[in-house]
Amino acid sequence: MPEPLALFGGRPVQPQPLRPYVSIGQEEKDAALRVMESGSLSGFVACGDDRFYGGPVVRGFESLFAGSLGMPCAVSFNSATSGLVAAVGALNLGLGDEVIVPAQTMSASAAAVLAYNAVPVFADVEERTYGLDPESVRSRISAKTKALMIVHLYGHPARMDELMAIARERRLRVIEDCAQSPFAMYRGSFTGSFGDIGVFSFNFHKHANCGEGGVAVTRDAELRERLALIRNHGEVKGTRGNLSNIVGWNFRLTELQAAIALEQTKKLPGLVEKRRRLANRLSHILEAFDWVRAPLVEEGCEHSYYDFPMQMDLGWIGITKGDMLRMTQAENLPITESYRPLYWQDIYRKKIVYGEQGFPFTQSLSNQNSENYRRGSCPQAEAFYESRCLTFEICSYELEEQHMDRIGVMFRKIEEYALRKKGVNA
Ligand SMILES: Cc1ncc(COP(=O)(O)O)c(C=O)c1O
């Protein structure tokens, strides 16, 4: 008699719940202590001298991060969300503009656009990479389209050749949301190095973290200046060349966070490499199952595996998405849903963000895209969420090879149960 599923009283494949991922070690503790002992927890002043760019540790983190990606400069933020908002502002996007955003991503990729009263127009995602589908992008371009928000979802690069060709052809600015893709590569270059601005996250569930934090990279000195102005109150624009129309906020990272982020940046290649090793093992294990497809790695690409998305034919084994979530939770190896299409959120569905008059959609959304937020608008993203794609949060737990092996054992248990049940019912 095979071991029953834990959901039905059997022993869980993973005896205890997985421990949360911890990448903070002695180096981070020592670095944080040095900042504490210095007494200077932030070095930013919104003034005309160099203190405008933050303290020494903030600047040290930025130059290490930029250098590790082969980029000339980086601007740190207190989150990737702040970095994305600043990127939208730095590129001068605003009222009357549309920005094409993938329908399936984390909410901040689109919300950042709304911060400047431009609107996101959602394009569908692509079946193999989970990134923007170039054909869908083309179909969304209107006279109001000004930029693409390219997200390298789960850590796999989007189709950059095609997307950058569209951007060049249609004169669109490009923001890369690399929150999930540190050190992911596309044809020999890191994600974040293709567009005008690339934004990375250092929040607590990313490969590397400082609690909350973000960092933007760019090759353009003026964009760097604009990002820095938006980060730090923008008061000194008069002293910084011909930079007008900038409203600045406080999106600054503290010295304490920067000290941790700096140490984490040193470890980042190793942290990503470990996820790759685990993911490769899991992908290999999944080859034994006809109803599960591991994430593909397209030719010329390197995945960073923030997440491990799996395409599943649950109908084939005769269980629902809900069954899968409950069964895997009980086995202590939880598989989770993929992202809900963003346009299902009320702010888009009802077209109400600020006030109750439909602003900024009334001014920024073109007639061509007025139905963009209707159900059915991005079928691939909807199918992924509803049933096709489930993920294992490979960056959220302390994992070793044995845990990957146990996922294989768990899927075998589920398959046997489901097929037995199907046979009985047939
Ligand atoms: C794709 C994507 N973009 C943006 C963000 C926002 O990052 P942060 O939490 O650093 O603001 C996240 C965070 O999970 C993300 O996954």
186 DSSP β-pair partners: 189, 301
Q: What is the pLDDT of residue 240?
A: 56
Across 214-236, average pLDDT: 93
The pLDDT of residue 49 is 87
In a domain, 260, yes or no: yes
Residue 86 lies in a domain: yes
85 CA to centre of ligand 1 in angstroms: 12
Is the model's pLDDT at 350 over the cut of 80? Answer: yes
If you measure from the C-alpha of residue 107 to the centroid of ligand 1, how many angstroms do you get, rounded to a whole number? 8
Structural domain span for residue 133? 26-265
Show the DSSP H helices in 206-254 as ranges: 221-231
The CATH code of the domain that includes 79 is 3.40.640.10
CA of 367 to the centre of ligand 1 (A): 30
Residues with CB under 6 A from ligand 1: 79-81, 105-106, 108-109, 151, 177, 179-180, 201, 203, 214
Which of ligand 1's atoms lies nearest the C-alpha of 203?
Answer: 10
Please check whether residue 21 lies inside any domain of the structure.
no
Q: Is the pLDDT of residue 360 over 70?
A: yes
**CB-facing half-sphere around the CA of 299: CA atoms within 13 A:** 0
Is 416 within the bounds of a domain?
Answer: no
- What are 376's two structure tokens? 């059915």
Residue-wise pLDDT tens digits, 234-250: 877 555 555 666 889 99
Q: What number does the ligand 1 atom closest to the CA of 84 have?
A: 4
Q: Is 230 inside any structural domain?
A: yes
In the prediction, which pLDDT does 241 show?
A: 57
Q: Cα(373) to centroid of ligand 1, in Å?
A: 22
Ligand 1, closest atom to CA 153? 1
Alpha carbons 368 and 348: distance in angstroms, whole number: 16
- Of the given ranges (201-215, 241-255, 391-405), which has the lowest mean pLDDT? 241-255
Q: 303-324 pLDDT, tens per residue?
A: 999 999 999 999 988 999 999 9
Q: Compute the half-sphere exposure of residue 301: CA atoms within 13 Å on the CB side of its CA.
A: 22
Nearest CA among 95, 62, 44, 80 for reference residue 234: 44
Mutate which of 132, 180, 338, 395 for ligand 1? The one with the most ligand atoms within 8 Å of its CB, which is 180
> Hey, which residues does 98 pair with through a beta bridge?
119, 145
- Type and span of the H or E element at 283: helix 255-286
In a domain, 413, yes or no: no
Decide if 313 is inside a domain: no
- What separation in Å is there between the alpha carbon of 262 and the centre of ligand 1? 19
Please choose, from the candidates 258, 232, 268, the residue with its C-alpha nearest in 3D space to the C-alpha of residue 247.
232
pLDDT at position 426 is 41
The number of distinct structural domains making up the chain is 1
In a domain? residue 214: yes
Q: How far apart are CA 304 and CA 301, in angstroms?
A: 10
How close is the Cα of 30 to the center of ligand 1, in Å? 27
